[in-house]
Amino acid sequence: IKFIIEIWSPNVDKNDETCIAILHKPEKDKYGYEKPEERWLPIPTVETIMIRVISVLVDPNGDPSANTDAVKERRQKWKGACCVRKSQETAFE
């Protein structure tokens, strides 16, 4: 699936193409990230595929990643969010 607008996500590459297992060819993953049963099968419906695409846009993962810069930024922001939460929790103790 290719987006017609620029998407900044660990699961979307620089050509705006999605990188999710359900869309990959049903062959052995040369990098070892994806299990064969996670890859393309003729069973999924368009609805199933769209739900998967939406889910990685809402909650992206970086394993494997199509955009390493987006993965780094997400991890840094996550660490920052955790630090803020921790400082807020300790402030009210």
Catalytic residues: 19
The beta-carbon contacts of 65-72 under 8 Å, at least 24 apart in sequence, are 65/10, 65/11, 65/19, 66/9, 66/10, 66/11, 66/12, 66/13, 66/17, 66/18, 66/19, 67/8, 67/9, 67/10, 67/11, 67/12, 67/13, 67/14, 68/10, 70/8, 70/9, 70/10, 70/12, 71/10
